[in-house]
Chain A
């Protein structure tokens, strides 16, 4: 028999050991909350998989009685979103509150009737953020974040809106990893399996808007970001050139969303440049 050259069969995929990650994130939330002396969390629950997972992890870490899930529908939001948020809250056993954001949104856009749906969508996300932060003060809690790594890398989120939080357990998990972990953590199957959507306007779906599937982009991002494949290697792995180029540009163009506002360097020690302390400084 002739000797055959052995090659590595395939490229690595973004897989996780879901039970282990579940355990680590529960420990992470407990640790980061307790060290600042806070026992409670507020989380916006939309009925989607990201916020469902975040709320459940919060409940597992802090106890369901210490988690407040706030549903913040707008009048055009899908009824299914609210149903799913309630389903999740029942499953997790957390406290809930419904704040309809229609009156405050409509009052504002009466003055700016020409605003397109992107402006309206971003405004909704930011209204929701102010409600979460307001109730976090009332409930003696920190805001638990929901943004996942795929959306953070692509910039597919509203700066100071849904991207705002104190502690984010989802931020180093790609969307497909979120699905795996959500199933493990006990998020109801119909929430895990449904088509992802920010639900900012009727019929909006994330994959429709992005133009590719989460599975495709997660495999690409994992190699590009985590495993540092060059563009050449990505093409060799079989990703189309236009896809690689588009995703690279999205990551680069959204870098500002992952940073503090840029500060002009004047003094000897400028915040975050040469004044460097951990957030957990002295904790």
Chain B
């Protein structure tokens, strides 16, 4: 492996609901399989250590990020980097739906889910505290960012991640089957597959999407985990509805090649976005102004309004 080229494994598992010991066993086996297949980084789904529809089990399943209970993951990460979803308890006893990144024997990053879906079959805000940060972070594979399921349905999260110079986005998920029609996939799975491709192609990044499978109280999870390259092509894809490991190679030169032909990132104007968002947020026409160009514009008089006169148009 090198920072320019590494193998990423998507461990599409079926966790037991509220059985840490059973899930730990599955995860150990998956880590071993990923390693023996030559993976450098293995990604597990959202809440893979605990199961998804935890409801009142959330506090009983929660672990502190520095917990002794996670020592086995820290140890395992000496040989393979690991991104894994679990219930994370903060020092002030709030419970987060988090994804933890372990590498080189230590915890490197925690992302707490920012957008907790609370509609339809989802009830996350009832049980979880809301994450308040979107941060890219450095790894031996270069700069990554992690999102959890619903986070990615908000385009702003990916936008912040790529602005923060992430070159790969890992999205862990427990996406249920809903919206059955005549089509080959449930409606939300079709939407997901558009979403991962859209972001990969638009920003010229790799998107690793790791979803779970199995059923909880009759709700099925559709799997279909995949690694999408910056051209929107799947590098590897796990089957739908069945446990599997899919392993694909991330070649960073593809990011470079994509960004030569598509200059979205080069041309992206953060100041424009920030200024307009501040204006929208404050409700004032002038708003707060950031950046040299904007400052100059702010002092410039607005263009005069020309009234048309008769005979002229």
Contact = CB atoms under 8 A, between A and B. Distances in A.
Classify chain A's interface size. Answer: 20 to 34
Given A275-B56, A276-B55, A277-B56, A17 B181 contact: yes
Contacts of B53: 278, 280
B246 to A, nearest CB: 19
A16 interface: yes
Contacts of A35: 16
Secondary structure of the B contact surface, majority rule:
loop
Interface in B204-255: 214-218, 220, 241
Nearest to A169: B218
A264 interface: no
B57 interface: yes
A23 B241 contact: yes
Interface string A26-37: 011001100100
A166 to B, nearest CB: 11
A163 B47 CA distance: 34
Task: Pick the most buried of A12, A15, A277, A278: most chain B CB atoms within 10 A of its CB.
Answer: A278
Contact of A24 (B54, B57, B220): B220
Contacts of B288: none
Contacts of A282: 16-19
A283 B56 contact: no
Contact of A276 (B56, B181, B184, B241): B56
Contacts of A27: 215, 220, 241
Interface in B1-29: 16-19
Q: Is the interface of A mostly helix, strand, loop or mixed?
A: loop
Nearest to A226: B179
Interface string A9-23: 000100111001101
Interface string A242-283: 000000000000000000000000000000000111111111
* Chain B interface residue number, banded: 20 to 34
Contacts of A277: 55-57
Contacts of A24: 177, 220, 241
B56 A17 contact: no
- Considering the complex of A and B, which 10 residue pairs feature the smallest CB-CB distances, nearest first? A31-B215, A276-B55, A15-B182, A278-B53, A278-B217, A280-B17, A282-B18, A276-B56, A279-B217, A280-B216
Interface of A: 12, 15-17, 20-21, 23-24, 27-28, 31-32, 35, 275-283
15 contacts: A16-B181, A28-B215, A28-B220, A32-B218, A277-B57, A278-B18, A278-B53, A278-B217, A280-B216, A280-B217, A281-B18, A282-B16, A282-B17, A283-B16, A283-B17
Given A20-B184, A27-B220, 12 more contacts: A16-B180, A16-B181, A17-B180, A28-B215, A31-B214, A35-B16, A277-B56, A278-B17, A280-B215, A282-B16, A282-B18, A283-B17
